Chain A
Amino acid sequence: MKGEIEIAGQVIGGRVASIMIREKSGRKIELGDLLVVEEDGGYLIMQVYDLGYGSQIPQSIRELAAGLKLEGYGNGLDFLDPQLRNYVMAQVKAVARVTGELVKIPKVLPSFFSSVRYVTREDMKFLTKPANPVYLGKVRSGSKVLDVDVYLNGDDLFAHHVIISSTTGRGKSNLVKVMLWDITGQSRFGALVLDPHDEYFGRSGKGLKDHPEAKRNLSYFSTNPPVGGNTLVVNLGSISPEHFEGIIEFSDAQQHAIRLYHREFRDEWIEKILRGTQIEGIASTTLSVLQRILRATLSVYLEDDRIVCRNNVFSDSSGKATISEIIKALEGGKLVVVDTSKLGDEAELLIGSIIATEILTKHQEAKAEGKLDEKRTVSIVIEEAPRVLACERLAKIGENIYSRIAREGRKFKVGLLAITQLVSIMPRDILTNMNTKIVLGNEMATERHAIIESAAQDLSTDDRNIASLDKGEAIITSIFTKFAVPIYTPLFEDFIKERAEKFDTKGELIFQG
């Protein structure tokens, strides 16, 4: 801030995790505000987590004064020097001590009675743009937005998994869209988005398709593609039994049967099951149960001797290269958005499973050959993550590729970006493994507690804060940030207006028949 420093208050007591500050009259300190105390050539950044009244006047006198006013006895009545006697007390915690370039977790209290000012842009200069940056938003102090961009290194961020949580409608998908926008311009990371609401591409309205590099760096797959989009059609031959693991529940007998069919018929195993081809050792009842499961989950069945798929997403003739095409795009550092809005959960998760399995395998092979360096980090974005990461489900149907990635993907540069309303039902170890958590507003106490418990920084005082976050307001807690950074992520539509990068339109096209 230019000119005079704006004093917000003064330190009057407390302890490290709860420093007491008296607010200067006329200031409106908010929950979540960042405040600064300057000292020893450096400064301390503190964050407000609770507010209360303070008064020099005993409670009974205040009550009496209020009574007099309310009942009309003293219209001109007021306290002597009211700003001195009544005030606001802010409870703050120290979050970072900055000395030059150095940012540390604060270990000492600010000097007693030192004056406190609002944070300024300059105070956040240490948040520099890392290599391979992914934009997350701007620093936020309470509900005020500072003009300081927050980026994290994409390789760190994605490989170490991200979880984004809030109650519905607080801006999770919006935030992810903003993050992915940046990636679209970079070709540095691959990202697969399984999009059950078809909200990322921007089929109608703005979306990732509006990125200047979208033609080159974004592939969109849909059962009903717009002009230029890819048809989401997966050949049944691309599916193998392992892709079903933890996605669709099979009994031991069914499990055994599908393995036999696969061994016997390779790429045609599903087709053979649908056609009712018998093999030795498999009861025909098992076969018909399998047919029923495939019909219920993948909507594939036999009709007049032809394999049909209700939503056309699986085929016995088309889509042979769809999976390779997607893998190729991801490995090439592209963003792949798969519109699964017309699919059932199982079909969506299965398609994700096929792709994720291929990617993980490729990266594992690369690692074994000492060539993991040549691979780009790939992130798998999944909405409503408890569909695959809920404790109960994992216990019942077993591990799936998503939980495997959450547990061990980091070693292979494959990460999960899990979006969820519910954190409390996810396994502790998986949550701990997700090294960046982006917390948006959440009214549910159980969820807040689950988030706080698994956070990378101590958020024990942030409960109220999290409850009061508005749309787009978030807290990043990550092993890659020095402290839990409050941010505001703009509305995607506004964000891209601002970013409307100019790009050179290719030379004029001349048509030659």
Chain B
Amino acid sequence: MHKFAHMADIHLGAHREQVLQRLEMVAFSEAMDMCIEEKVDFILICGDLFHIGIPDLGVVKEAVRKMKEVQDSGIPIYAIYGSHDYTPTGTTVIDILDTVGIIKKVVRGKITEGKLRLDFFTDPKTGAKLVGISARKIGLESRYYEILDVENLEKEGGFKVFAFHSGLTEFKPDYLSQMETIPISYLPKGFDYYAGGHVHNRSENSLLGYGRVVFPGPLFTGYARDIEQTAKGEKRGFYIVSFQDKVEKVDFIEIKPFDSVYFEYDASLKNSLQAQKELTEKLAGLEVKDKVFVLKVRGELSGGKTSDINFSQIKRTLIERGALYVHLNRFGLTSKEFAAVKVMGEDIGSIESRLFKENVGAVRLTHEALKDERGAIMATELLQNLRQEPKANESKKDYGERMVKQTIETLQLREVFK
């Protein structure tokens, strides 16, 4: 019997806070150790190994050290790009790791006569055949799927795995209905295992014509939403798939680098003073030591400003009482007196993209690429780009040039500025 590990959305380098940075690496190390211990034949990472295309070198160093260990125990690591493994200029850390042989990209193919023909990569030890499509700049991979030559892929014999980093419409949870997904009909039928990434929500699925379709969810936690879900009890980890000619067994391996508490407080019908007082009292009774604490405050204050509630004080108190880390979500907190701007959303990213989507229609635009959803996507992307800070050691001039270059790319104006 052979085994491989399937993981995705590891998002190394996603966190700024030291505690989470440390825990994130702990989770990754534990997962790698588990693979060694379980003697898997290979590891398949379906995108978003790192949180950004060119991550902090400290993070890279730690990760490479661990992956080297895995490699030295004879386990190859295969990968595809995720939506975060992307830089407007092209090269990412994944390419570098591929070049030096720490990991191996398994997506190969070319476009001939308007069709995308992919080549299988065969794992030398097990004979498993891997093929897949990487994520690209927001949603661009869907154009690859449109021209994918599925027939050739379906014809191939043997144990076949399809790796991808896109949400599938049919398996999308309802709360993610705003997320861009592709229909499963784009994927070749009849593979033994469909190894997904991108959806930060674990699920094992199947649908007529398709074997097992698995999304492992994030290994640790990438977005703010993830940490809330984790605290609410969603398990994080990866899969180990046992196979011979067919999939024999699919096991979820939980990785739990921290304990957590989730606390939700509804401030409705209270003014800011009452809310602060009550919240403080409630928190006082909770066990927080050595835990990641997720605090969600929502509701409409009957009086006062939301900023009257001293959240930094509340956080500080929790840390003093021994909490590892406090994550605060108060996007759902509004005030009756200051209800001018009302936005709904789970985190900054989704609020931004929703606002763009809602408002793009209000602007008169003539250029196709700026209209509707496309325009909203471009705006989101532009904002993401412009938010980047200079890297350590990056000169002002280099930073400026990089920003200009990226912006031109994002605005699809390369032709104009050539």
Q: Which residues of A contact B (CB under 8 A)?
A: 187, 215, 225-231, 233, 235, 238, 312, 317-322, 324-325, 328, 332, 506, 509-513
> Quick one: which of B80, B109, B147, B174 contacts A509, CB cutoff 8 A?
B147
Nearest-CB distance from B104 to chain A (Å)? 11
Contact (Cβ within 8 A) B177 A328 = yes
Report B-chain residues with C-beta under 8 Å of the C-beta of A332. 372-373
Which chain B residues (135-182) contact chain A, with CB distance < 8 Å? 136, 143-148, 150, 169-174, 176-178, 181
Contact (Cβ within 8 A) A318 B205 = yes
Contact (Cβ within 8 A) B108 A226 = no
Given contacts A187-B372, A318-B171, are A233 and B116 in contact (CB under 8 A)?
Answer: no
Given contacts A312-B208, A318-B205, are A231 and B169 in contact (CB under 8 A)?
Answer: yes
Question: In the assembly, what is the distance between CA of A414 and CA of B110, in Å?
Answer: 46
Question: In the assembly, what is the distance between CA of A170 and CA of B148, in Å?
Answer: 40
Determine which residue in A228, A318, A509 has the highest number of CB atoms from chain B within 10 A of its CB, and name it: A318
> Quick one: which of B116, B173, B185, B208 contacts A320, CB cutoff 8 A?
B173
Question: In the assembly, what is the distance between CA of A319 and CA of B183, in Å?
Answer: 11
By beta carbon, the residue of chain A nearest B150 is A227
Contact (Cβ within 8 A) A229 B185 = yes
Question: In the assembly, what is the distance between CA of A426 and CA of B185, in Å?
Answer: 40
By beta carbon, the residue of chain B nearest A222 is B185
Give per-residue flags for B117-141: 1 if the beta carbon is below 8 A from chain A beta carbons, else 0: 0000000000000000010100000
Nearest-CB distance from B400 to chain A (Å)? 27
Question: In the assembly, what is the distance between CA of A238 and CA of B177, in Å?
Answer: 13
By beta carbon, the residue of chain A nearest B132 is A513
Contact (Cβ within 8 A) A231 B143 = no
Given contacts A312-B208, A318-B205, A321-B173, are A228 and B185 in contact (CB under 8 A)?
Answer: yes
- Sample (22) of A-B pairs whose CB atoms are under 8 Å apart: A187-B372, A215-B146, A226-B185, A227-B186, A228-B186, A230-B169, A231-B169, A233-B207, A312-B207, A312-B208, A317-B205, A320-B173, A321-B173, A321-B176, A322-B170, A324-B177, A328-B178, A332-B372, A513-B81, A513-B107, A513-B108, A513-B109
Given contacts A325-B169, A328-B177, A512-B134, are A230 and B205 in contact (CB under 8 A)?
Answer: no
Question: In the assembly, what is the distance between CA of A233 and CA of B185, in Å?
Answer: 12
By beta carbon, the residue of chain A nearest B179 is A321
Contact (Cβ within 8 A) B147 A318 = no
Report A-chain residues with C-beta under 8 Å of the C-beta of B169. 230-231, 321-322, 325
Nearest-CB distance from A307 to chain B (Å)? 13
Contact (Cβ within 8 A) B109 A511 = yes
By beta carbon, the residue of chain A nearest B98 is A513
Nearest-CB distance from A370 to chain B (Å)? 15
Nearest-CB distance from A33 to chain B (Å)? 44
Contact (Cβ within 8 A) B185 A225 = yes
Report A-chain residues with C-beta under 8 Å of the C-beta of B348. none
Contact (Cβ within 8 A) B170 A319 = yes
Nearest-CB distance from A56 to chain B (Å)? 68
Report B-chain residues with C-beta under 8 Å of the C-beta of A319. 170
Contact (Cβ within 8 A) B143 A509 = yes
Report B-chain residues with C-beta under 8 Å of the C-beta of A317. 205
Report B-chain residues with C-beta under 8 Å of the C-beta of A187. 372
B96 at the interface (CB under 8 A from A): no
Determine which residue in A231, A233, A317 has the highest number of CB atoms from chain B within 10 A of its CB, and name it: A231
Report A-chain residues with C-beta under 8 Å of the C-beta of B177. 321, 324-325, 328
Nearest-CB distance from B149 to chain A (Å)? 10
Report B-chain residues with C-beta under 8 Å of the C-beta of A325. 169, 172, 177
> Quick one: which of A233, A324, A510 contacts B170, CB cutoff 8 A?
A233
Contact (Cβ within 8 A) B170 A231 = yes
> Quick one: which of A230, A312, A328, A511 contacts B183, CB cutoff 8 A?
A230
Report B-chain residues with C-beta under 8 Å of the C-beta of A509. 111, 143-144, 147
Nearest-CB distance from B174 to chain A (Å)? 5
Question: In the assembly, what is the distance between CA of A159 and CA of B387, in Å?
Answer: 44
By beta carbon, the residue of chain A nearest B210 is A231
Contact (Cβ within 8 A) B183 A231 = yes
B105 at the interface (CB under 8 A from A): yes
